[in-house]
Amino acid sequence: PNGSGSEPASGDSRRSQARFNVEVRNIATQALVQSLYLSEEAPTGIINGSGGKQVWAIGSHTVWRLMPVPIQQQVEEVLSAGQYDEAISLVAQSDSILESEKQDLTIKIRWLRARWLFRDQAKYEEALNEFTDLDATPTEAIALCPERIAGDLAEDDESNVGSFSDSGDGDDNGDNATDAPVAEDAGADETLPSAAISPKKRSKPKQVIWKEALYALMRYLTEHRRVLQRAITENRREQEYVVRVLFQDDEDQNDDENKAYNEKVGRSRSSTVDDDSLPHVRLKRLAFSLERMGIPVAAMAQVVDTTLLKVYLECSPGLLGPLLRVKNYCDVEQSEGLLLEHKRYSELVDLYHGKGLYRNALQLLQSQGKSSEGGLLRGSYPVVRYLLRLPAEQFELVLEYVKWPIQVGMEREKSLTENDGESGSDSSTDSEDWPTPSSIVSMVFADDRPAAELFPRLRVATFLHQMSSRLAI
Q: Tens digit of pLDDT per residue, the chain (473 long)?
A: 343 333 334 444 444 455 677 777 777 778 777 777 777 667 777 777 666 667 888 877 888 888 777 778 888 888 888 888 888 888 888 777 788 888 898 999 999 999 999 998 899 999 999 999 999 999 999 999 999 999 989 885 544 444 444 444 433 333 333 333 333 333 333 322 233 334 444 456 566 688 899 999 999 999 999 999 999 999 999 999 999 988 765 444 444 544 543 443 333 333 333 333 333 344 578 888 899 999 999 999 999 999 999 999 999 999 999 999 999 999 999 999 999 999 999 999 999 999 999 999 999 999 999 988 868 899 999 999 999 999 999 999 999 999 999 999 998 888 877 766 554 444 444 567 888 999 999 999 988 889 999 999 999 999 998 888 787 65
Compute φ and ψ for 425, nearest 5 degrees. -75, -15
> What is residue 115's three-state secondary structure?
helix
Phi/psi of residue 216, nearest 5 degrees:
-65, -45
Please report, as a single letter, which amino acid is at residue 230.
R
- Taking each helix axis from N to C terminus, what angle separates 457-467 and 437-445, rounded to the nearest 10 degrees? 170
Cα separations (Å) of 334 from 7, 10, 304, 337, 472?
67, 67, 13, 5, 44
Are the C-beta atoms of residues 144 and 121 closer than 8 Å to each other? no
Q: Which one-letter DSSP state was computed for residue 166?
A: T
| Nearest to 136, CA basis, from 123, 159, 118, 156 | 118
CA 214 from centre of chain: 9
CB contact burial 249-278 (16+ within 10 A = b; e otherwise)? eeeeebeebbbebbeebebeeeeeeeeeeb
Amino acid at 113: R
